[in-house]
Chains A and B, each alone.
Chain A
Amino acid sequence: MSRYVSYRDFDWGLLIFVLMICGLGVMEIQSATVHTKFAGSHIRQVYWILGGVGAMFVISAVNYQVLLDRIHWFYIAAVASLIAVLLFGQRYLGAKRWIKMPGGNHFQPSEWVKLILILAVAKFFADLRHRELSWSDFAKAGAIVVIPMLLVLKQPDLGTALTYIPIAIMGVFLGGMQWRQGLLVAVLAAVGVAAVFFVPRVHVLKSYQKQRLTSFIDPELDPQGSGYQVEQSKIAVGSGGLWGGKGSQTHGAFLPVPQTDFIFAAFAEEHGFVGALGVLLLYFIVLMRLTQNAQTAPDRAGAFVVMGVVAVLSFHILVNVGMVVGFMPVTGIPLPLMSYGGSSVLFMFLALGMVMNVRMRRFVN
């Protein structure tokens, strides 16, 4: 059995497209923050990206099978870190999401839990040998994701908790979900959404979260409060027109946080429909390239790892761009690779590192 692994098999094409998206992101961060107190953020973003690329190479060198064999320890550590946040976390703006590390750094475990969940779900389904998914395996797969999800919801961090769901759905779907199970997932999702929107006594969501969701349904109800952000984002996107405009929404500070959650709105305002569609196309190419890597993966586990990354990335794009164009409520989910922020960039490159990892070992068996 050959153990030869070469960077010749590294997916350089994928990396080029990813770096193109990052480059557009850095440009937009620079443009959106130049006159504000966040000026200079784009330089920091470049450092994050360089660090991310480095981390990607490091993680691609570790055989993913080694990681998968130890995944139950990682999973226990992940759940423990989420419980630690609830017990000892730093409270900021009403939510406990960070642990203060020695040295003054803050650590937000819920981002890294996402990576571990991708691996855990991959390991779980790789070990199943049935063509069809049994109900008990279906429930077990659900539990793997739901436990950390509830812990994150408790923080409360609705946005991050939601990003765990596509990992489970993708896993179950590829793992041989029966149509009845699919129906159940759809019904559960519909009931959950209906409960959140229409039953005011459901205490799963904090009132500000509920307000964000209801103001999404009718932003005119509260144009100056939480509906304000959605409305300003739509104005920004719409006023960009076909070819883009001056960007008065972005530069006039009407658009909230144009360098993070609303970076796509800022980009769409300045570069118009053509520019925005171009970015979507880049993302689409990246996603197709990733699924292709899943098809050529050496084993089931590898394919599940890659498709887990695809699920998370697609969900981020759907929710973030959907929010920007007014289809989705404000949940605070950033646009991967473009939005400013260290943890988001690092997560994305670590996830891509695992994809590379799988790809580089496609002939190794």
Chain B
Amino acid sequence: MFGRDDKVSEIRLTAAQYAILAIFLVLAYGLWRLQVMQSGYYASAAEKNRIRNVPILAPRGKILDREGRVIVDNYPSFSALLLRDSSRDLNADADLIAQGLHLDPNEVRTRIRHFSALPQYQPIFLKEDITPDELAFIDSHRNELPELDTIMAHRRLYPRNGFMAHLIGYVGEVTEDMLNQPQFELYSPGDVVGVSGVERQYNNALMGKNGARRALVNSHGREVGLLGETAAIPGKQLKLTIDIDLQIAAEEALEGKNGALVAMDPRTGEILAMVSRPTFDPNDFAVRVSRDEWNKLVTDPDKPLLNKAIQAQLAPGSTFKIIMSVAGWQEQVAQELHVNCAGSAEFYGRRFGCWVKGGHGPVSLEKAIYQSCDVFFYTLAEKLGIDRIAKYATALGLGQKTGIDLPNEVSGVMPSEEWKIKNFKQKWFAGETISVGIGQGAVALTPVQLMRAIAAISMGGRMVVPHVVNPQELPGDYVETSHVTETQNIPIDPNGWTFITDAMSRVLLPEGTAPSAHIPGIDIAGKTGSAQIVSLATRAKFKNSEDLAQNGWFVGFTPRRNPDIIVCVLFQGGEHGRLAARLATQVLKAYVDKQHRSPQKLVEKPKGDGKVDIGALWTGPESDKLEGGRFALDLPKRPILAAAAAPGIAPEQ
């Protein structure tokens, strides 16, 4: 069929054979080089391979309050470690390991598989915070399970009962999702990082750098010598602007209630206390949180994981009238506005009611503020129009993030004509402006946002950025990214803000809306608010169900001029602002009482630029009694903070 010419060239076939010979000679040379010429070097390298790297875990930095008192500490605990460089069949041993450590055998196998890409000499963590009987199990099975070992770890000890839980946040093992994000790219699987709150925001400062111990192991995986050690670099401790005494007062004020409370120094923006309720116990998360527990927290309708101080967006109700007053004053409308409140008024063909059914009679701006007359502010809103209201509200930071140094702050909503067209593709109806005038309608603010705006008014227009850590307390690489010292000045007519704050100081007097919150001897200026969640008609349908009760608000500061503290309270389901006011005044009283306890510091002349460091004022002789920076709280009812000395010993109840 085919002639001889059709055959493949003999020469080329022979060439292919020589090429193959060449390949084999090269490979044989490679073997000769390694196995004969350098066999001594590689024989010793094989011996040196019996080195095991065991991490030395760096403790996270402590979190302190503004006076250096410990809020978050570490305690020593033991973690179970799985060494993978022994020649054991780990999957076969998984059942026994799981039984001894009270784990699910499948979870153990999943973990072994999950970390299988890491080099063998790197051990993996099986269980953190093991109990004494699990420790005993590992010790008594040294021969049967040589791959198990223990390591000392410093575990986070958070205040108990959810004290300050939202602000502090919690830590957890870094997840795969996080590792894929650029800001976490330097972390490795198994690292413990901050997941929320301050722990997350300042994770790079708080987190230390793990060290390593290089040990010589024999062929059975037992350590026979130490080759070297790299010490762990502990995380830096972080001083917050929080004052523990004030925080305790705030936590107690909101105990058993639903809502949020924030206290701030309006001169600097330092947050002095921050509470959100309901709360959760971050100690439950310190060890890997179980799925059931997590689902319970996530699906809870009261959203215990939400930091309402920065993440709740709600109608501010009558507290918004202060912003209205400023807008009205600046536009020269409010000064001369006189309204006769008859209990309701008609705008654009619809009847809008005042909260006092019988009406307030003749009302001017001052009375409208301390009596919270709705009809006055309906009228003012109509005269100003939505865009002039939005102009001042936006300048005061409403509907925007405050820039607080906590993760996941939300921005809230400050409506305007532009906003409505952009989001709803609809024109703004003039009737909607009337509801905005009393802080209803589309207005939705976070407590910290509302507090910041009113703080700015109390300070004559000086806007600060709220923050929980002062930049000078931060390690170098953070200071550049911190913008909390940037203040803005909003020009407000001095006559205007003095007039408005004077009117606010009458809110707690007998003629105001919250006389029951009055505390003799303390000059508090404030504003109450009660905000509907649903319309009154809907609420009637549900027979005043607890869930639909109105939210009470109060924002107050002291003293009336040049205040040094402002408190904002959101009391969800609190029905009326005066109840929120009572909670706020408890905290303000705690603040003033504390100042009175150390009067000698009060008379000292402020040093430097005239700014007074509040922390210095409060460091009275009592602080000398504190031992080693640790403090004991003298709360008779229940100890909120309790430090466990060792794992397995339950903190006293």
Q: A: which residues have CB within 8 A of B?
A: 35-37, 39, 170, 173-174, 176, 224-225, 228, 232, 234-242, 245, 248-249, 251-254, 268, 272-273, 276-277, 280, 283-284, 287-288, 291, 294-295, 297-300, 303-304, 307, 310, 314, 317-318, 321-322, 325-327, 365
Contacts and interface: CB of A to CB of B under 8 A. Distances in A.
A148 B88 CA distance: 42
Contact of A317 (B19, B27, B30, B43): B27
Interface in B116-160: 119-120
B16 A273 contact: no
B42 A234 contact: yes
Contact of B42 (A238, A303, A321): A238
Nearest to A248: B46
Interface string B21-53: 101101110111111101101110110011000
B49 A235 contact: yes
Contact of A252 (B39, B85, B89): B85
A284 B19 CA distance: 12
Nearest to B31: A276
A325 B12 CA distance: 29
Interface stretch (B1-9, B190-198, B419-427, B574-582): B1-9
Contacts of B21: 284
Given A224-B119, A241-B35, A253-B120, A174 B42 contact: no
Contacts of B19: 314
Contacts of A303: 7-8, 13
B27 A318 contact: yes
Contacts of A173: 12, 15-16
Listed from nearest, the 5 A-B pairs whose CB atoms lie closest are A238-B42, A325-B30, A239-B46, A273-B35, A238-B34
A325 B89 contact: no
Given A239-B42, A294-B13, A35 B87 contact: yes
A280 B4 CA distance: 34
Interface residues of B, number: 48
Contacts of A239: 39, 42-43, 45-46
B45 A36 contact: no
Given A242-B39, A307-B16, A174 B8 contact: yes
B8 A304 contact: yes
Given A173-B16, A241-B35, A321 B27 contact: yes
Contacts of A287: 20
Given A318-B23, A321-B27, A327-B26, A276 B35 contact: yes
A138 B26 CA distance: 30
28 contacts: A35-B89, A36-B89, A174-B9, A176-B9, A234-B42, A235-B42, A237-B34, A238-B35, A239-B45, A242-B35, A252-B50, A252-B85, A253-B87, A254-B46, A254-B49, A254-B120, A273-B31, A280-B27, A280-B28, A283-B24, A288-B17, A291-B17, A294-B13, A295-B13, A299-B1, A303-B8, A321-B30, A322-B30
Given A228-B119, A242-B36, 13 more contacts: A37-B92, A224-B119, A237-B34, A238-B45, A239-B45, A242-B39, A273-B32, A284-B20, A288-B20, A294-B8, A307-B16, A325-B34, A327-B27
A174 B85 CA distance: 50
Contacts of B45: 235, 238-239
Contacts of B86: 253
B39 A241 contact: yes
Contacts of B6: 299-300
Q: Which of B23, B31, B42, B86 has the most CB of A within 10 A?
A: B31
A283 B15 CA distance: 18
Contact of A310 (B16, B35, B46): B16
A295 B46 contact: no
A238 B26 contact: no
Interface of B: 1-2, 6-10, 12-13, 15-17, 19-21, 23-24, 26-28, 30-36, 38-39, 41-43, 45-46, 49-50, 84-92, 119-120, 219
Nearest to B91: A37
B35 A237 contact: yes
Contacts of A277: 28, 31
B34 A252 contact: no
Contacts of B10: 295
Contact of B90 (A37, A224, A325): A37
A234 B85 CA distance: 18
Q: Which of A36, A232, A303, A325 has the most CB of B within 10 A?
A: A325
A248 B219 contact: yes
A68 B393 CA distance: 82
Nearest to A224: B119
A176 B12 CA distance: 9
Nearest to A294: B13
A249 B27 contact: no
A252 B42 contact: no
Contacts of B85: 252-254
B144 to A, nearest CB: 15
A303 B1 CA distance: 15
Contacts of B20: 284, 287-288, 291, 310, 314
A227 B309 CA distance: 50
Given A254-B49, A300-B6, A307-B13, A325 B31 contact: yes
Contacts of B92: 37
Q: Which of B24, B35, B119 has the most CB of A within 10 A?
A: B35
Contact of B24 (A174, A248, A268, A284): A284
A293 to B, nearest CB: 11
A57 to B, nearest CB: 26
Nearest to B24: A284
A174 B11 CA distance: 9
Nearest to B1: A365
A268 B32 CA distance: 11
Contacts of B27: 280, 317-318, 321-322, 325, 327
A303 B27 CA distance: 27
Contacts of A35: 87-89
A280 B43 CA distance: 23
Contacts of A307: 8, 13, 16
B649 to A, nearest CB: 39
Contacts of A365: 1-2
Contacts of A232: 49
A61 to B, nearest CB: 21
A286 B556 CA distance: 92
Contacts of B91: 37
A23 to B, nearest CB: 21
Nearest to A39: B89
A113 to B, nearest CB: 23
Contacts of B42: 234-235, 237-239
Contact of B46 (A37, A235, A321): A235
Nearest to A291: B17
Contacts of B13: 174, 291, 294-295, 303, 307
A280 B24 contact: yes
A167 to B, nearest CB: 13
